[in-house]
């Protein structure tokens, strides 16, 4: 299929003729049928002549008194309100349907007075009024956009050698543009997404994602609770736009594209040009328009159809601003508009209503703020749609170039500088990863946990960490004191600590106002963090914080055997002992920070002591080429009097009974009064002592029941137990 293939004819019926003026905003209204007014609670008396009822509206349309006809603008229109009307509007919550049901008549009356094009039904639901000329414009406008979308779709199909593409349309499902696209390109598979919930729940991958509107309008249409108004501030746009762009990125197949087709506002200019009006009726309409609204200069029709026109006035006229019949009556009276001559129009009074137009925005620069991290821009250009160009050339002869009315963006999905799958493989092979991705606890896979670890590191750096003895804290603090060239592997951690504020800002971009839930996932966003500018070295440290810097922390709590540190201590075979010792000091520091972030105030000095003991054992093995973890393991069994005793010690760690690791054998011989004295008459400590005794009793009972007649099998069983790997036990076992 060639990208230059013939484009099929439109599925939209050519019922409405192309009007003389074309708007410059995205229009794909959800029109409400008159026969549905009754069931929807819409009073026909609230609908002005020449308007349609719709569920949505253009982002901006000048009201009869200036300002946006779809915004309140109460402060600017105080002089139009009657006595008590402002207090009435401010006295209740417009989001409360029950209040709106009771007061909709009066609210609609006030809105009518203010020249606003929105109303409330008797059910308390808001609806909007769309001028008929704006609705008629939308058909040709939509055809132009769909032409551009189809070209992009055909190019994508040709590039990927696929006849059927999976395409996402980010717009409301019952709009004209959806019917046009799906009708014209029925062979493709389309998925419509019109809310942030659907965007989150959608499962890709897709070959193409199309946004047939401005990014601002898209964000406002997705039902994000924090977003209101017709134009977002730059900060709000960047925050929510980056989030939505990231979700779009997740849905796209690799090397596939995002396409945006949006209407473009006319530029602001002080330039004057010659314009010849080919249609006498159009000249008459332009003159009437400049009598109703304030213009940059005065125009007189008696000079003929060729006028020296200020471009701002001409663009305002072309943009299709709604002119109320009441306003025309004020200057025309009861005379027939069609019978007025240009000379008579010249003598009419002027209302000089102010036109408040939205400030033109550099769409390319604005979109780049949120799209550039995720998409490599193939093109972003403006153009004048063929139908509009043809229409203008039929009605006007204009000096110079006609302004563009469409902005077209196509961007291809970028490849991240760091892939999670590759990172997981590299760290697993290096021995630095504490566990596999599948075994990561949910609470650790969060930004909150990463920030907690960085906070623990900061406390250790500033020597505010009070969970250890002074000597242990000084030993732990060592990597912070040494020269930079000594602990090079630690420099990335220190850099990450400095960038914690930036990391917080990036988290807000990935999960603004907790859209994704109260805790923002880390591993799922690693690749997006790389696209947002975090270097791979820092991302590696974030990854290791989540999965654990080696198994040292898990070994400390009895979850894994000590020999899982073999890949770290074996580095002494090809590195100097000083390098390996420095690496182990860094691992000890980070493991302590990770344990402290997990346990918070529940971290005990006995747990810290066990971590330091494990570090010392690792140093012994790295320093002695004749010693390994298996030999050390056998020595510990011999020192404790057998595999069963070492297994009990290991189980005490699993049940968080660290205080009794070296004294449990003595407790077994104590009487009830001695136990109370040993617990210092503390009920909690006495309960812990009972737990230790119960664990010893159950172990002995198990041995006697299953191995009483097989004494040679007992060591085998307990050795197997010592080699088991436990996961998820830190919060479960102490509760058993």
Q: What is the DSSP string of 357-422?
A: PPPP--HHHHHHHHHTTTEEEEEEEEE--HHHHHHHHHHEEESSPPPP-EEEEEEEEPPPSS-HHH
- Determine contact, residues 323/316, Cβ cutoff 8 Å: no
Distance (Å, rounded) from C-alpha 306 to C-alpha 5? 42
Q: What is the DSSP string of 540-588?
A: HHHHHHHH-BSSHHHHHTTSS-GGGGHHHHGGGGTS-HHHHHHHHHHHH
Q: Which residues pair with 521 in a beta bridge?
A: 446
pLDDT in tens, 98-156: 888 888 888 888 888 777 888 889 888 888 887 765 555 566 778 888 999 999 999 99
- Determine contact, residues 358/315, Cβ cutoff 8 Å: no
Specify the pLDDT at position 70. 66
Cβ-based neighbours of 276, under 8 Å, separated by 6 or more: 305, 306, 307, 396, 397, 398
Q: For tokens 């005379």, what's the residue?
A: 335
- Determine contact, residues 413/374, Cβ cutoff 8 Å: yes
Cβ-based neighbours of 505, under 8 Å, separated by 6 or more: none
Q: How many helices (H) and strands (E) does the chain have?
A: 32, 12
Distance (Å, rounded) from C-alpha 531 to C-alpha 373? 5
Under-70 pLDDT residues of the chain: 1-30, 49-50, 57-84, 94, 132-139, 228-230, 322-325, 357-358, 679, 708-709, 711-713, 728-736
With residue 591 as reference, give the H or E element that holds it: helix 577-599
- Determine contact, residues 166/206, Cβ cutoff 8 Å: yes
DSSP-derived 3-state class of residue 120 = strand
Buried b (16+ CB within 10 A) or exposed e, 59-72: bbbbbbbbbbbbbe
Here the tokens at position 676 are 């109370």
Distance (Å, rounded) from C-alpha 640 to C-alpha 645? 6
Distance (Å, rounded) from C-alpha 72 to C-alpha 85? 13
Specify the pLDDT at position 732. 67
Buried b (16+ CB within 10 A) or exposed e, 681-718: eeeebbebbebbbebbeebeeeeeeebeeeeeebeebb
DSSP-derived 3-state class of residue 248 = helix
DSSP-derived 3-state class of residue 173 = coil
Domains assigned to the chain: 34-134 (no CATH), 138-266+361-413 (3.40.50), 281-346 (no CATH), 417-625 (no CATH), 641-736 (no CATH)
């Amino acid at each position: 299929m060639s990208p230059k293939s013939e484009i099929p004819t439109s599925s939209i019926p050519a019922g409405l003729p192309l009007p003389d003026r074309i708007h410059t905003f995205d229009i794909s209204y959800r029109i409400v049928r008159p026969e549905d007014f009754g069931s929807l609670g819409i009073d026909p008396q609230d609908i002005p002549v020449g308007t349609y009822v719709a569920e949505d509206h253009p982002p901006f349309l000048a009201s009869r008194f200036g300002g946006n006809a779809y915004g309140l603008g109460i402060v600017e229109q105080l002089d139009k309100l009657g006595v008590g009307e402002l207090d009435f509007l401010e006295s209740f919550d417009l989001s409360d349907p029950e209040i709106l049901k009771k007061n909709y008549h009066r609210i609609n009356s006030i809105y009518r007075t203010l020249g606003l094009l929105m109303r409330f039904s008797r059910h308390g639901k808001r609806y909007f009024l769309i001028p008929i000329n704006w609705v008629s414009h939308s058909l040709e406008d939509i055809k132009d956009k769909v032409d551009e979308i189809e070209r992009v779709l055909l190019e994508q199909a040709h590039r990927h050698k696929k006849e059927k593409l999976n395409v996402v349309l980010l717009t409301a499902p019952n709009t004209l543009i959806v019917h046009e696209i799906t009708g014209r390109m029925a062979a493709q598979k389309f998925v419509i997404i019109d809310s942030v919930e659907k965007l989150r729940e959608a499962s890709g991958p897709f070959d193409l994602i199309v946004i047939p509107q401005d990014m601002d309008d898209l964000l406002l249409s997705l039902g994000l609770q924090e977003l209101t108004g017709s134009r977002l501030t730059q900060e709000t746009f960047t925050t929510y736009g980056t989030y939505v762009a990231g979700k779009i990125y997740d849905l796209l197949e690799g090397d596939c594209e995002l396409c945006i087709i949006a209407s473009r506002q006319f530029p602001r200019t002080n330039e004057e040009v010659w314009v010849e009006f080919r249609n006498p009726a159009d000249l008459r309409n332009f003159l009437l328009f400049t009598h109703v609204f304030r213009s940059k200069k005065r125009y007189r029709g008696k000079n003929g159809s060729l006028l020296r026109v200020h471009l701002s006035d001409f663009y305002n006229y072309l943009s299709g601003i709604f002119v109320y019949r009441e306003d025309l009556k004020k200057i025309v009276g009861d005379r027939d508009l069609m019978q007025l001559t240009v000379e008579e129009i010249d003598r009419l009074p002027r209302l000089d209503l102010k036109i408040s137009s939205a400030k033109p925005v550099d769409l390319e620069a604005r979109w780049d703020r949120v799209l550039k991290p995720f998409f490599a821009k193939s093109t972003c250009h403006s153009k004048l749609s063929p139908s509009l160009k043809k229409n203008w050339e039929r009605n006007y002869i204009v000096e110079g170039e006609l302004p563009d009315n469409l902005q077209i963006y196509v961007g291809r999905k970028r490849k991240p500088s760091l892939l999670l799958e590759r990172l997981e493989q590299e760290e697993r092979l290096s021995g630095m990863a504490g566990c596999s991705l599948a075994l990561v606890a949910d609470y650790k896979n969060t930004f909150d946990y990463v920030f907690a670890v960085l906070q623990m590191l900061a406390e250790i750096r500033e020597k505010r960490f009070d969970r250890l003895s002074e000597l242990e804290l000084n030993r732990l603090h060592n990597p912070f004191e040494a020269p930079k060239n000594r602990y090079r592997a630690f420099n990335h951690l220190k850099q990450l600590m400095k960038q914690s504020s930036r990391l917080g800002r990036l988290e807000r971009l990935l999960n603004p106002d907790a859209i994704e839930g109260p805790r923002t996932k880390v591993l799922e966003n690693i690749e997006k963090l790389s696209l947002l500018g975090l270097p791979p070295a820092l991302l590696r440290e974030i990854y290791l914080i989540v999965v654990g810097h080696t198994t040292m922390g898990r070994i400390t709590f009895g979850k894994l055997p000590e020999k899982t540190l073999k890949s770290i201590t074996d580095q002494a075979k090809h590195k100097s002992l000083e390098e390996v010792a420095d690496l182990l000091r860094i691992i000890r520091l980070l493991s302590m920070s990770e344990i402290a972030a997990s346990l918070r105030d529940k971290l005990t000095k006995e747990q810290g002591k066990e971590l330091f003991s494990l570090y010392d054992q690792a140093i012994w093995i790295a320093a002695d080429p004749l010693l390994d973890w298996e030999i050390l393991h056998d020595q510990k069994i011999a020192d404790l009097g057998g595999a069963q005793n070492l297994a009990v010690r290991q189980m005490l760690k699993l049940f968080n009974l660290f205080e009794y690791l070296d004294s449990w054998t003595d407790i077994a011989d104590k009487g009830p009064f001695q136990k109370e004295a040993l617990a210092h008459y503390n009920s909690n400590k006495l309960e812990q002592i009972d737990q230790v005794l119960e664990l010893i009793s159950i172990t002995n009972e198990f041995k006697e029941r299953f191995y009483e007649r097989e004494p040679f099998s007992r060591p085998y069983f307990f050795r197997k137990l010592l080699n088991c790997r436990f996961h998820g036990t830190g919060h479960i076992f102490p509760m058993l």
